[in-house]
Amino acid sequence: MDKQKIIIANWKMNLSPADSLILAEAIIAKLGEIKPLQARIVLCPDFLALSGVAKKIAGQSIGLGAQDCFWEPSGAYTGEVSPQFLRELGCAYVILGHSERRQDAGETDEQVNLKVKAALANSLIPVICAGETFEERQEGNKDFIISQQVSRALAGVKLLDQDNLIIAYEPVWVIGSGQAVAPEEAEHAHRVIRQVLIDHFSLAAVNGQIKIIYGGSVKPTNAGNFLIQPAIDGILVGGASLEAESFAELVKQANL
Protein backbone atom coordinates (compact mmCIF):
# COMPACT_ATOMS: atom_id res chain seq x y z
CA MET A 1 0.00 0.00 0.00
CA ASP A 2 1.18 3.52 -0.67
CA LYS A 3 2.09 5.92 2.12
CA GLN A 4 -1.05 8.01 1.61
CA LYS A 5 -3.08 8.65 4.77
CA ILE A 6 -6.50 7.01 4.65
CA ILE A 7 -9.78 8.42 5.99
CA ILE A 8 -12.57 5.88 6.40
CA ALA A 9 -16.14 7.04 7.01
CA ASN A 10 -18.22 4.57 9.02
CA TRP A 11 -21.84 5.62 8.63
CA LYS A 12 -23.03 2.73 10.84
CA MET A 13 -26.84 2.21 10.71
CA ASN A 14 -27.53 5.94 10.67
CA LEU A 15 -28.69 6.65 7.13
CA SER A 16 -31.36 5.09 4.94
CA PRO A 17 -30.38 4.10 1.40
CA ALA A 18 -31.95 7.34 0.10
CA ASP A 19 -30.19 9.50 2.71
CA SER A 20 -26.90 7.71 1.97
CA LEU A 21 -27.14 8.75 -1.67
CA ILE A 22 -27.79 12.36 -0.67
CA LEU A 23 -24.77 12.37 1.64
CA ALA A 24 -22.52 10.65 -0.92
CA GLU A 25 -23.45 13.28 -3.48
CA ALA A 26 -22.80 16.12 -1.01
CA ILE A 27 -19.44 14.61 -0.03
CA ILE A 28 -18.40 14.25 -3.68
CA ALA A 29 -19.21 17.94 -4.22
CA LYS A 30 -17.34 19.09 -1.10
CA LEU A 31 -14.29 16.92 -1.73
CA GLY A 32 -14.17 18.29 -5.28
CA GLU A 33 -13.26 21.65 -3.74
CA ILE A 34 -10.17 20.19 -2.03
CA LYS A 35 -7.28 20.27 -4.47
CA PRO A 36 -5.16 18.27 -4.32
CA LEU A 37 -6.95 15.65 -2.26
CA GLN A 38 -4.07 14.30 -0.17
CA ALA A 39 -5.83 11.46 1.65
CA ARG A 40 -7.47 8.33 0.34
CA ILE A 41 -11.20 8.44 1.17
CA VAL A 42 -13.39 5.40 1.82
CA LEU A 43 -17.14 5.48 2.48
CA CYS A 44 -18.77 2.64 4.43
CA PRO A 45 -22.56 2.97 4.18
CA ASP A 46 -25.19 0.52 5.33
CA PHE A 47 -25.27 -2.75 3.32
CA LEU A 48 -28.55 -1.68 1.70
CA ALA A 49 -26.98 1.54 0.41
CA LEU A 50 -23.80 -0.03 -1.00
CA SER A 51 -24.92 -0.54 -4.56
CA GLY A 52 -26.43 2.96 -4.85
CA VAL A 53 -23.37 4.62 -3.33
CA ALA A 54 -21.12 2.50 -5.59
CA LYS A 55 -22.85 4.01 -8.63
CA LYS A 56 -22.62 7.54 -7.21
CA ILE A 57 -18.88 7.36 -6.55
CA ALA A 58 -18.03 5.60 -9.82
CA GLY A 59 -15.26 7.54 -11.54
CA GLN A 60 -14.37 9.44 -8.33
CA SER A 61 -11.25 8.69 -6.34
CA ILE A 62 -13.35 7.44 -3.42
CA GLY A 63 -13.29 3.84 -2.20
CA LEU A 64 -16.24 1.79 -0.95
CA GLY A 65 -16.35 -0.40 2.13
CA ALA A 66 -18.85 -2.55 4.02
CA GLN A 67 -19.31 -2.57 7.79
CA ASP A 68 -19.13 -6.36 8.20
CA CYS A 69 -19.23 -9.61 6.23
CA PHE A 70 -19.74 -13.32 6.82
CA TRP A 71 -16.90 -15.87 6.65
CA GLU A 72 -18.29 -18.04 3.86
CA PRO A 73 -18.48 -16.87 0.23
CA SER A 74 -21.96 -18.35 -0.37
CA GLY A 75 -24.34 -21.06 0.82
CA ALA A 76 -27.17 -21.74 3.25
CA TYR A 77 -26.46 -18.92 5.70
CA THR A 78 -29.74 -17.07 6.12
CA GLY A 79 -29.36 -13.36 6.56
CA GLU A 80 -25.56 -13.27 6.23
CA VAL A 81 -23.63 -11.06 3.81
CA SER A 82 -21.05 -12.65 1.55
CA PRO A 83 -17.60 -11.10 1.10
CA GLN A 84 -17.67 -12.30 -2.49
CA PHE A 85 -20.92 -10.46 -3.18
CA LEU A 86 -19.54 -7.32 -1.53
CA ARG A 87 -16.63 -7.46 -3.91
CA GLU A 88 -19.05 -7.82 -6.82
CA LEU A 89 -20.86 -4.66 -5.68
CA GLY A 90 -17.61 -2.71 -5.82
CA CYS A 91 -16.42 -2.86 -2.22
CA ALA A 92 -12.67 -2.83 -1.72
CA TYR A 93 -12.74 -2.64 2.10
CA VAL A 94 -14.65 -4.26 4.95
CA ILE A 95 -14.70 -3.18 8.59
CA LEU A 96 -14.40 -6.24 10.85
CA GLY A 97 -14.69 -6.70 14.61
CA HIS A 98 -16.01 -3.23 15.34
CA SER A 99 -16.68 -2.93 19.09
CA GLU A 100 -20.38 -2.33 18.40
CA ARG A 101 -20.57 -5.73 16.69
CA ARG A 102 -18.60 -7.35 19.49
CA GLN A 103 -20.98 -5.81 22.05
CA ASP A 104 -24.33 -5.89 20.23
CA ALA A 105 -23.97 -9.05 18.13
CA GLY A 106 -21.68 -10.99 20.49
CA GLU A 107 -18.99 -11.26 17.84
CA THR A 108 -15.91 -13.14 19.11
CA ASP A 109 -12.21 -12.92 18.23
CA GLU A 110 -12.54 -16.32 16.55
CA GLN A 111 -15.35 -15.09 14.30
CA VAL A 112 -13.40 -11.95 13.48
CA ASN A 113 -10.48 -14.20 12.52
CA LEU A 114 -12.66 -16.25 10.14
CA LYS A 115 -14.00 -13.04 8.61
CA VAL A 116 -10.50 -11.63 8.10
CA LYS A 117 -9.47 -14.78 6.22
CA ALA A 118 -12.64 -14.68 4.11
CA ALA A 119 -12.20 -10.99 3.30
CA LEU A 120 -8.62 -11.52 2.13
CA ALA A 121 -9.63 -14.60 0.12
CA ASN A 122 -12.12 -12.38 -1.70
CA SER A 123 -9.66 -9.54 -2.36
CA LEU A 124 -11.17 -7.21 0.22
CA ILE A 125 -8.99 -5.13 2.53
CA PRO A 126 -10.02 -5.95 6.12
CA VAL A 127 -10.19 -2.99 8.50
CA ILE A 128 -9.81 -4.86 11.80
CA CYS A 129 -10.93 -2.92 14.86
CA ALA A 130 -9.26 -3.42 18.24
CA GLY A 131 -9.50 -1.44 21.43
CA GLU A 132 -9.90 -1.59 25.17
CA THR A 133 -12.99 -0.83 27.27
CA PHE A 134 -12.78 1.70 30.07
CA GLU A 135 -12.66 -1.09 32.69
CA GLU A 136 -9.83 -2.89 30.90
CA ARG A 137 -7.95 0.37 30.81
CA GLN A 138 -8.56 1.12 34.50
CA GLU A 139 -7.28 -2.35 35.37
CA GLY A 140 -4.03 -1.60 33.51
CA ASN A 141 -4.67 -4.15 30.76
CA LYS A 142 -4.91 -1.82 27.78
CA ASP A 143 -1.82 -2.91 25.84
CA PHE A 144 -2.45 -6.57 26.61
CA ILE A 145 -6.06 -6.42 25.39
CA ILE A 146 -5.14 -4.63 22.17
CA SER A 147 -2.29 -7.07 21.45
CA GLN A 148 -4.52 -10.06 22.17
CA GLN A 149 -7.34 -8.85 19.94
CA VAL A 150 -4.98 -8.17 17.06
CA SER A 151 -3.10 -11.45 17.33
CA ARG A 152 -6.33 -13.47 17.65
CA ALA A 153 -7.82 -11.70 14.63
CA LEU A 154 -4.71 -12.63 12.67
CA ALA A 155 -4.25 -16.24 13.84
CA GLY A 156 -3.22 -18.29 10.82
CA VAL A 157 -3.49 -15.28 8.49
CA LYS A 158 -0.85 -15.06 5.78
CA LEU A 159 -0.46 -12.04 3.55
CA LEU A 160 0.10 -12.76 -0.12
CA ASP A 161 1.95 -10.13 -2.14
CA GLN A 162 -1.29 -8.54 -3.36
CA ASP A 163 -2.98 -8.49 0.07
CA ASN A 164 -3.39 -5.40 2.21
CA LEU A 165 -4.63 -4.99 5.74
CA ILE A 166 -5.70 -2.15 8.01
CA ILE A 167 -5.82 -2.24 11.80
CA ALA A 168 -7.95 0.42 13.48
CA TYR A 169 -7.12 1.23 17.09
CA GLU A 170 -10.45 2.25 18.58
CA PRO A 171 -10.60 2.74 22.35
CA VAL A 172 -14.14 1.53 22.98
CA TRP A 173 -14.86 4.09 25.69
CA VAL A 174 -14.21 7.11 23.49
CA ILE A 175 -16.31 6.00 20.50
CA GLY A 176 -19.21 8.41 20.11
CA SER A 177 -18.22 10.20 23.35
CA GLY A 178 -17.07 13.41 21.71
CA GLN A 179 -13.74 13.10 23.51
CA ALA A 180 -10.85 11.43 21.67
CA VAL A 181 -7.72 10.15 23.40
CA ALA A 182 -4.58 12.28 23.16
CA PRO A 183 -2.75 11.74 19.84
CA GLU A 184 0.39 10.69 21.76
CA GLU A 185 -1.60 7.96 23.47
CA ALA A 186 -2.99 6.74 20.16
CA GLU A 187 0.54 6.73 18.81
CA HIS A 188 1.68 4.56 21.71
CA ALA A 189 -1.13 2.06 21.01
CA HIS A 190 -0.12 2.07 17.35
CA ARG A 191 3.44 1.16 18.30
CA VAL A 192 2.15 -1.73 20.43
CA ILE A 193 0.05 -2.96 17.48
CA ARG A 194 2.97 -2.52 15.10
CA GLN A 195 5.13 -4.79 17.25
CA VAL A 196 2.43 -7.50 17.24
CA LEU A 197 2.22 -7.20 13.46
CA ILE A 198 6.00 -7.39 13.00
CA ASP A 199 6.10 -10.51 15.19
CA HIS A 200 3.27 -12.06 13.15
CA PHE A 201 4.30 -11.05 9.64
CA SER A 202 7.60 -9.30 8.85
CA LEU A 203 8.89 -5.76 8.97
CA ALA A 204 8.71 -5.55 5.18
CA ALA A 205 5.07 -6.72 5.13
CA VAL A 206 4.13 -4.31 7.91
CA ASN A 207 5.79 -1.39 6.14
CA GLY A 208 4.45 -2.28 2.71
CA GLN A 209 1.04 -3.88 3.14
CA ILE A 210 -0.45 -2.73 6.42
CA LYS A 211 -1.82 0.56 7.73
CA ILE A 212 -2.60 1.31 11.38
CA ILE A 213 -5.28 3.95 11.86
CA TYR A 214 -7.06 5.60 14.81
CA GLY A 215 -10.81 5.83 15.46
CA GLY A 216 -12.89 7.30 18.26
CA SER A 217 -14.45 10.78 18.32
CA VAL A 218 -12.32 12.15 15.50
CA LYS A 219 -13.65 15.57 14.52
CA PRO A 220 -12.51 18.41 12.26
CA THR A 221 -10.95 20.06 15.31
CA ASN A 222 -8.72 17.11 16.29
CA ALA A 223 -8.24 15.14 13.03
CA GLY A 224 -5.07 17.05 12.13
CA ASN A 225 -3.46 16.12 15.46
CA PHE A 226 -3.84 12.42 14.59
CA LEU A 227 -3.00 12.66 10.91
CA ILE A 228 0.27 14.45 11.67
CA GLN A 229 1.60 11.59 13.83
CA PRO A 230 4.08 9.48 11.83
CA ALA A 231 2.82 6.21 13.36
CA ILE A 232 -0.82 6.96 12.50
CA ASP A 233 -1.67 6.09 8.90
CA GLY A 234 -5.20 7.42 8.93
CA ILE A 235 -8.49 7.71 10.78
CA LEU A 236 -11.81 5.88 11.09
CA VAL A 237 -14.59 8.39 11.53
CA GLY A 238 -18.15 7.78 12.73
CA GLY A 239 -20.27 10.76 13.80
CA ALA A 240 -18.25 13.44 12.01
CA SER A 241 -18.63 11.61 8.68
CA LEU A 242 -22.44 11.95 8.68
CA GLU A 243 -22.41 15.50 7.46
CA ALA A 244 -20.61 16.58 4.27
CA GLU A 245 -19.41 19.89 5.68
CA SER A 246 -17.73 18.44 8.78
CA PHE A 247 -16.36 15.49 6.85
CA ALA A 248 -14.77 17.76 4.25
CA GLU A 249 -13.32 19.97 6.99
CA LEU A 250 -11.81 16.88 8.54
CA VAL A 251 -10.41 15.67 5.22
CA LYS A 252 -8.76 19.06 4.71
CA GLN A 253 -6.64 18.38 7.81
CA ALA A 254 -4.73 15.77 5.80
CA ASN A 255 -3.56 18.57 3.50
CA LEU A 256 -1.97 20.64 6.25
Chain centroid, CA 152 distance in Å: 18
- Cβ closer to ligand PGA: 85 or 93? 93
Interacting residues with ligand PGA between 236 and 255 (CB under 6 A)? 236-240
The answer to whether 30 and 43 have CB atoms below 8 angstroms apart is no
* 166 contacts 6 by C-beta, under 8 angstroms: yes
Residues binding ligand PGA: what is the number (CB under 6 A)? 13
Catalytic residue list contains 188: no
Q: State the minimum distance, in angstroms, from the CB of residue 59 to ligand PGA.
A: 27
Find the binding residues for ligand PGA in span 192-231 (CB under 6 A): 215-218
Q: What letter represents residue 183's amino acid?
A: P
At its nearest, how many Å lie between ligand PGA and the CB of residue 88?
A: 25
CB nearer to ligand PGA: pick between 118 and 236: 236
b/e map 84-93, b = 16+ CB within 10 Å: bbbbeeebeb
- The answer to whether residue 170 forms part of the interface with ligand PGA (CB under 6 A) is yes
**Between 32 and 176, whose beta carbon lies closer to ligand PGA?**
176
Q: In the bound complex, which residue of the shown chain has the CB atom lying closest to ligand PGA? A: 238
Min CB(82)–ligand PGA separation in Å: 23
Q: Does 131 bind ligand PGA (CB under 6 A)?
A: no
Q: Which of 49, 91, 175, 254 binds ligand PGA (CB under 6 A)?
A: 175
What's the min distance (Å) between Cβ of 164 and ligand PGA? 19
Scan residues 2-31 and list those touching ligand PGA (CB under 6 A). 10
* 98 catalytically annotated: yes
Least CB distance from residue 236 to ligand PGA, whole Å? 4
* Catalytic residue (one of 100, 107, 132, 170): 170
The values of phi and psi at residue 154, to 5°, are -105, 5
Binding site for ligand PGA (CB under 6 A): 10, 170, 175-176, 215-218, 236-240
Q: Which residues are catalytic?
A: 98, 170
